[in-house]
Amino acid sequence: MTVFYDVFNGDADGICALHQLRLSEPRASVLITGVKRDIALLERVKADAGDEVTVCDISLARNSAALHQLLARGATCRYFDHHFAGEVPLHPNLKTHIDTSPGTCTSLIVDRYLEGSHKAWAVVAAFGDNLPEAARAAAVSLKLNELQLLQLMELGECINYNAYGERIDDLHYEPADLYETLARYRDPFQFMTGEPVFDILRAGRADDLYRASEIAPVIETSAYSVYVLPDAAWTRRVNGEFANRLANMEPARAHAVLTRRSGGYAVSMRAPRAQPYGADQLCRQFPDSGGRQGAAGINFLQEADYDRFIGALKAAYGSAK
């Protein structure tokens, strides 16, 4: 009997991409996900010949070895993503839908694949992935008013906020549980009015962002800024959302948000929104990193590599002024 596996990033883009697919292609499946930075997910899949794996919003480059093993065992795989992919295998059991353009996200790729069947959820995801221009462009055919667009923006940002954290205990909801709650709704507006989950995420996000806004940058030039947040559950939750907020407030600058961990930092990197390139290339100079051109991260930057990271940031985005 065929076993279906759904493997997805626990952020807004991964959740909404899978939700669109399952609204169009409902099926019971084994869910495999985690916190946003937990992207080496394919190694958890135990699929064999005849089983089917759907992957949404995790880097193929970071999962290449596990993908090769799944294909060698006879599993089939559909892969939807917008992150750096590296070398994509050519295999009859693999179908890829990968677009690394800085103005797209996985949910928009799925939206194209489904020919707009559940576009509102793609709009939610694009807002959550801090792609407001792409979200608004996708929403044109929905004929929404400005209030409705702002509501979808807040929903996307709240779902995305829930994914950040070093471990599941840092989050308000486990991503698999949040997906299963959201999966009961075809309409995002009904989810917002029908689920207390949304109110809890909205309140938590607002509180964490307020605390982050009280912290001053350790480096600030006309080209980039660097913030260092303390080691706490709330900073692990909010570092990505805080980086997005900085990128939106100061689109001409690159922004690095470092969250202290024992012996080093977790890094959320944002390229300037005015020129959204190079964040993934910068972060790939360090181990345990990933992302896309406009936004990337390093799961653990050793304390000894801090100066090297600042030098790489300066080299990528401009001299201090």
Q: What is the DSSP letter of 63?
A: G
Q: What is the pLDDT along the chain (321 residues), one digit of tens a residue?
A: 999 999 999 999 999 999 999 999 999 999 999 999 898 999 999 999 999 999 999 999 999 999 999 999 999 999 999 999 999 999 999 999 999 999 999 999 999 999 999 999 999 999 999 999 999 999 999 999 999 999 999 999 999 999 998 889 999 999 999 999 999 999 999 999 989 999 999 999 999 999 999 999 999 999 999 999 999 999 999 999 999 999 999 999 999 999 999 999 999 999 999 999 999 999 999 999 989 999 999 999 999 999 999 999 999 998 544
- The CATH topology of domain 215-317 is Diaminopimelate Epimerase; Chain A, domain 1 (3.10.310)
- Look at residue 54 in the predicted model and tell me its pLDDT: 98
Q: What is the pLDDT of residue 321?
A: 41
Nearest to 130 by CA among 248, 18, 235: 248
Query: 166 near 236, Cβ under 8 Å?
Result: yes
Contact 253, 272 (CB under 8 A): yes
pLDDT of residue 37: 87
| 25: its two tokens | 């292609």
Calculate helix-pair angle for 119-128, 106-113, nearest 10 degrees: 160
Token pair, residue 279, equals 């964040």
**How many whole angstroms from its chain centre is CA 315?**
26
Domain locations in the chain?
Answer: 4-203, 215-317
Would you state the CATH architecture of domain 4-203? Alpha-Beta Complex (3.90)
Q: Over the range 50-82, which residues count as b (16 or more CB within 10 Å of their CB) and which as e?
A: ebbbbbbbbbbbbbbebbeebbeeebbbbbbbb
Q: What per-residue string of b and e applies to 139-164 under the rule 16 or more CB within 10 Å gives b?
A: beeeebeeebbebbbbbbbbbbbbbb
What pLDDT, on the 0 to 100 scale, is given for residue 319?
Answer: 54
